Amino acid sequence: MIQKNISLLPYNTFGIDISAEYFAAFSSIDELKNLLEESKHKNKTIIGGGSNILFTKNIEGFVLKNELKGIELINEDENFFYVKAGAGVVWNDLVQYCIRNNYAGIENLSLIPGCAGAAPMQNIGAYGIELKDAFHELEALHVEDGNIQIFNAKDCEFGYRESIFKRKLKGRYIITSITLRLSKNPEYHIEYGAIKQELDKMNISELSIQNISQAVINIRRSKLPDPKIIGNAGSFFKNPAVSEAQYLFLKEKYPLIPAYNIAESSDKKIAAGWLIEQCGWKGYREGNFGVHALQALVLVNYGGAKGSDIYSLSEKIIKSVKEKFNIELEREVNII
């Protein structure tokens, strides 16, 4: 059912109260095709969980909410399980389904907000793992002709929080399902962040994907605000990559600067949260919005803030980091 002039407050985790000219949800491919026909000559904005969006103005045209559900094991071979999920499946529900069934590979991505369809768009990642590490293929519907196309990992052109769907094919396809390739022989990744310490705190002597998932959930809950309580979209900025020469220059001046190796590159990834904190933004508050007190990467809406206010704050943060470190921060959150 198409609704007119609907508030999008319930549909974005930042809690921004703006309106859509037209709004409709779809839970089948046929419904999606019908809605695309109805909205043929209008702008279209596709949303899932609304957890990686900052709305800065009212939306003209159609906002279409992806509610394609279903999780199933579609194949397996000697080493892998292949699990297919509708794009509207809540990401953490998919993670927990895989953990319950001992399908390994995405346990480090526990509790990331959002839906399965957004995972490859963003190439989501956390604690040393990215979606691309467990990705097999996806299905996407072409907005213009309604045909379903299959994209493998190479087709998706994954990068750091990037894919072809955020660049060349932006707005041209709607992801309808994803298929993951999950291991029968788990490789545990516990070197990143505080996973080891959390496992020690949990008195875990034998590693399992269940234990790692719980450790990640504990860490995320301790550091990141619950969007149901404080509006936010998780990490607002990407961790920037710098050349080895720039890193060594910064290391000399700031010996504690945290940096991580990048696979197949001499560049280093710098912790954006640390850069922001060094510029004095951690815990900053201006009226009903600000920077989270425990995690400087997270911008927050304490209630009633405008998206444009939060965007302006992000501009100030980018400017100050550039002035202090000569590093240009990029937003991870999609600005609409």
CB neighbour class for 329 (10 Å; exposed up to 12, middle 13-18, buried from 19): buried
Q: Please name every residue paired with 127 in a beta bridge, in sequence order, or none if there are none.
A: none
Rounded Cα gap, residues 47 and 334, in angstroms: 11
Helix H, strand E, coil C: the string for 163-226 is CHHHCCCCCCEEEEEEEEEEECCCCCCCCCCCHHHHHHHCCCCCCCHHHHHHHHHHHHHHHCCC
- The DSSP secondary-structure symbol of 107 reads G
State residue 262's pLDDT score.
81
Catalytic residue among 110, 235, 314, 331: 235
How many CA atoms lie within 13 Å of 280's alpha carbon, on the beta-carbon side?
5
Nearest to 47 by CA among 72, 68, 70: 68
Report the mean per-residue pLDDT for the chain: 94
> Percentage of the chain surpassing pLDDT 70?
100
For residue 19, give every residue at least 6 positions away whose Cβ sits within 8 Å of its Cβ, in sequence order, or none.
5, 6, 7, 8, 58, 59
Q: Do domains 3-66 and 71-183 have the same CATH topology?
A: no
Nearest to 128 by CA among 184, 190, 52, 220: 190
Instruction: Give me the mean pLDDT over the 127-152 stretch.
Output: 95
Q: What is the pLDDT of residues 2-60, one digit of tens each?
A: 999 999 999 999 999 999 999 999 999 999 999 999 998 899 999 999 999 999 999 99
At the top level of CATH, the class of 231-335 is alpha beta
Catalytic residue among 107, 137, 161, 220: 161
State residue 263's pLDDT score.
74
Nearest to 209 by CA among 131, 112, 133, 107: 107
Helix H, strand E, coil C: the string for 236-294 is CECCCEECHHHHHHHHHHCCCCCEEECCCCCCEEECHHHHHHHCCCCCCEECCEEECCC
Rounded Cα gap, residues 225 and 228, in angstroms: 9
Q: What is the pLDDT of residues 31-43, one digit of tens each?
A: 999 999 999 889 9
Token pair in block for residue 42: 């209008």
State residue 266's pLDDT score.
84
Known active-site residue 208: no
State residue 161's pLDDT score.
87
User: Which run of H or of E encompasses 313?
Assistant: helix 307-325
State residue 192's pLDDT score.
77
Rounded Cα gap, residues 48 and 189, in angstroms: 28
Instruction: Give me the mean pLDDT over the 117-141 stretch.
Output: 95
Under CATH, what is the fold of the domain 71-183? 3.30.465
Sort residue 272 into left (φ over 0), alpha (ψ -120 to 50) or beta.
alpha
Known active-site residue 167: no
Known active-site residue 161: yes
Q: Which CATH architecture has domain 3-66?
A: 2-Layer Sandwich (3.30)
Rounded Cα gap, residues 128 and 109, in angstroms: 9
Token pair in block for residue 74: 């579609």
State residue 205's pLDDT score.
85
Rounded Cα gap, residues 118 and 49, in angstroms: 9
What residue ranges do the domains of the chain occupy? 3-66, 71-183, 231-335
Question: What sign does the CA torsion over 267, 272, 276, 278 have?
Answer: negative
Rounded Cα gap, residues 43 and 55, in angstroms: 15
